Chain A
Amino acid sequence: MKKFDTTSLWQDAWRRLKRDKIAVISLCFVIFFTLLAIYGEIVYQYHDVLDITPNYQKTNLENAYISPNINYLMGTDGLGRDVMARLIQGVRIAYKVGIITSLIAIPIGVILGCIAAYYGGKIDDIIVWFYSTVASMPGLLFILAIAMIFKGQGLLGIYLGIGLTTWVGLCRLVRGEVLKHKELTYVHSAKVLGISSSKIMFKHILPNIFHIIIVTFTLRFPAAVGTEVIMSYLGIGVQNEPSWGLMIESARMRLWQGMWWEMTFVTIALFLLVLSFNLLGDSLRDALDPKLND
């Protein structure tokens, strides 16, 4: 018997992704930022467990506004704190927001989308009504309003604000895709075999539409980070930790007096993080979408 060379969707996608230079570069950046975030978390946890104030939080007015040099590669801010250390903590917070809001939004979108499409009828009507209602809410203002309601509870307001408003797009996509899969033979056979609905939905259909979730995650991650920066900048988000939004806010006025380093490095880091996730997401979508397969 002749053996055919078969490749799974994932292997196929990986092969296509590797050919795309931009995708490989952005993937490297994403990995780099992820490592920075993990490093930042370790530093944070270390100081938290030992209950000592980390260097990036210590005020040292003698060192205020030192321009970048060999000791402080990115200079120091107005309270004499190392900009680079704070920037890395900013990566940590950005990742925290990106991941936790995804953990709220993605399950809501996937579960509601699956249920709506699979059961159809009244359930579908109700879920479609629900998400079109949420979709009608005015974006940033709605997020800020939710954050306002949970004022004074730290990052919770940000998590809920972003998480509870950004699941609609995914829900629509999943619903559309499950509607297609529902009519395919493998689902019909699974039904004939008497497999329970929830098992069909989450064990048989879900793996087949998993690429949508991955692409959505990669593209909503930078969006969540950007929203967090805006919220912190406005003073509604993070209060006592070195979020990028807070760093931009504190560097804004000093910029006009010539202290360019904090602003420059933070905006570059923010730009690179968001850009590499966006580019990677686009490439992933091209690589995982079999319709574009030549």
Chain B
Amino acid sequence: MINYIFRRIIQMIPTVIGVILLTFILFNIVPNDLAAISLGKNVTPEMLERFDNNRGLNLPLFYGYKASTRSMNDQNFEKGQYDWRGIGVSYNNEDKYISIRSKNNFNPLLFKLDKSYEYEWTGIARGSGIIAGNNFNSNQWKKFKIISNNENSEFFSGNIDFKKIKIRKKIDNPYNSQLFFYFRQLSKADFGYSESFKQPVIKLLSDGIWPSLSLTIPIFFIGLLISIFLSLLCALFRNKFIDRFFVILSVALMSINYVVYIVAGQYLLGFKMNLFPVWGYESVTYLFLPVLIGVISGLGSNIRFYRTIMLDEMYKDYVRTAYSKGASKTRVLFRHILKNASIPIITNVVIAIPFLYTGSLLLENFFGIPGLGYLGINAILSADIDVVRALVLIGSLLFVFSNLLTDICYALVDPRVKLK
């Protein structure tokens, strides 16, 4: 048994790595500017720089010596003048380059550089003068690469033409990349800082878990009991009216949109009949309606699922034996079939753990229950990257672990599993 569990844990590792990589791809590689998505339109370059710094987003993705900085956008004057404007700066529209004719200092940077780093300027230029504090002299267009010593890196003067120029921050450790940053964050269980709630994500998560559980656990267990009971009923009266009725009913229940359940429930039960409070999280009564809606909305697929399981068991030899030795129908159903069907039921129960955790996104949102689902929707609406990433990551890790747990339960209940 120990051996089996150990083997199963080893098998789990690639999936865990996969999940981490997938969230990395989704949040670090795909969006080209996470800070802009997250902070919206009215931002200063300093805010973007701080956002990047806190999340390691200016580092290279996997490996490298150069980090980006928001102090100056990459300038390619062959495509236009962009944002180099000022006294002594002119743009040559025909040959597409920028000229600086300035005795005074021209400063292209949007904010002061962090002096504790070295910066590397690269580009194509000609003329003579000072680039980022270093002398430059060339009659022809020439590529340059200048490491600025911190003090006067903002200093541009002389007669110089530029075709292209960009600035990069030098970092010492090439492995100090976004991926490494992410791993280091995870190893410290640090999920970042929420920009919209102005709180560490870990605190938001721990605050939200209890409201979520108070909603999802009743939904889950009440739903489980009802659907197992109904599916046994279906199995008992297979192809009779009751069975057909519940099969059709379950397809119909599955076809109703979750949103419609919520709207109809709030309107009919909350507003028209005034049975339940509609919005808030103050006492137990506030949970009745969302739990009811949660149970009903899940009923359709659950009945179908458990009915198939029960019917699978119905035609096995042991059932026939039980009948032939004179056991009553209900006894066979509850003592024999239910016991054997408990394996797939356990699977379904354990697999639902991540759902219990992330809560019901929609229910929480429309009943004002301050759980993780509520947090998740609001984080997505306000593009709060750190919160969304943490929820996605934890949700998927829980899924992987509950898969492991299922397999172990399986092996405990059914010794044949270990042999495979």
Give residues in A with beta carbon < 8 Å to B: 129-130, 132-134, 136-138, 140-142, 144-149, 151, 222, 226, 229-230, 233-236, 245, 248, 252, 255-256, 263, 267, 270-271, 274-275, 278-279, 282
Contact = CB atoms under 8 A, between A and B. Distances in A.
B31 interface: yes
20 contacts: A133-B18, A133-B21, A136-B15, A136-B18, A137-B399, A141-B358, A142-B396, A149-B27, A149-B31, A149-B37, A151-B383, A226-B258, A230-B259, A234-B362, A245-B259, A248-B260, A274-B256, A274-B257, A275-B252, A279-B251
A130 B19 CA distance: 9
A145 B19 CA distance: 14
B361 interface: yes
Nearest to B300: A278
B263 A263 contact: yes
Interface in B252-298: 252, 254-260, 263-264, 267, 271
Nearest to A277: B255
Interface residues of B, number: 44
B322 to A, nearest CB: 26
Interface stretch (B114-122, B134-142, B373-381): B373-381
B327 interface: no
Contact of B15 (A129, A146, A148): A129
Given A129-B15, A278-B255, A141 B263 contact: no
A220 B31 CA distance: 28
A288 to B, nearest CB: 18
B380 A148 contact: yes
Contact of A149 (B26, B263, B354, B377): B26
Contacts of A236: 380-381
A278 B257 CA distance: 13
B265 to A, nearest CB: 12
Contacts of A252: 263
Contacts of A270: 257, 260
B345 interface: no
B392 A138 contact: yes
B30 interface: yes
Contacts of B354: 138
Contacts of B381: 234-236
B22 interface: yes
Contacts of B258: 226, 230
A18 B264 CA distance: 36
B15 A133 contact: yes
B251 A233 contact: no
B167 interface: no
Contacts of B415: none
A141 B389 CA distance: 10
Given A146-B26, A149-B26, A234-B377, A141 B361 contact: yes
A148 B383 contact: yes
B395 A138 contact: yes
Given A133-B22, A145-B26, A149-B37, A248 B383 contact: no
A255 B358 contact: no
A136 B257 contact: no
A149 B395 CA distance: 18
Contacts of A234: 362, 365, 377, 380-381
A146 B30 CA distance: 10
B18 A255 contact: no
B57 to A, nearest CB: 14
Contacts of A229: 257, 259
Given A151-B37, A222-B255, A137 B396 contact: yes
A148 B362 CA distance: 16
A129 B14 contact: yes
Top 5 A-B pairs ranked by shortest CB distance?
Answer: A133-B18, A138-B395, A275-B255, A274-B255, A136-B396
A129 B264 CA distance: 41
Given A145-B380, A271-B260, A137 B251 contact: no
A255 to B, nearest CB: 6
A243 to B, nearest CB: 12
Nearest to B360: A140
B376 A141 contact: yes
B362 A255 contact: no
Contacts of A132: 15, 18
Contacts of B19: 133, 136-137
Contacts of B391: 138, 141
B377 A137 contact: no
Contact of B251 (A134, A151, A256, A275): A275
Given A138-B399, A236-B380, A274-B257, 12 more contacts: A129-B15, A132-B18, A133-B21, A136-B18, A136-B396, A137-B399, A138-B392, A145-B389, A234-B381, A256-B267, A256-B271, A279-B251
B30 A145 contact: no
Contacts of A233: 259
Nearest to A234: B377
B170 to A, nearest CB: 30
B338 interface: no
A222 B301 CA distance: 14
B130 to A, nearest CB: 41
Most chain-A Cβ atoms within 10 A of its Cβ — which of B251, B362, B400?
B251
Given A222-B255, A271-B255, A279-B251, A149 B396 contact: no
Most chain-A Cβ atoms within 10 A of its Cβ — which of B21, B258, B389?
B258
Contacts of A147: 380
B397 to A, nearest CB: 8
Most chain-A Cβ atoms within 10 A of its Cβ — which of B19, B26, B259, B377?
B259
Contacts of A245: 259
Contacts of B30: 149
A148 B392 contact: no
Nearest to B304: A282
B259 A248 contact: yes
Contacts of B22: 133-134, 137
B203 to A, nearest CB: 20
B35 interface: no
B392 A278 contact: no
A248 B26 contact: no
A141 B259 CA distance: 16
A222 B27 CA distance: 29
A267 B362 CA distance: 17
Contacts of B31: 149
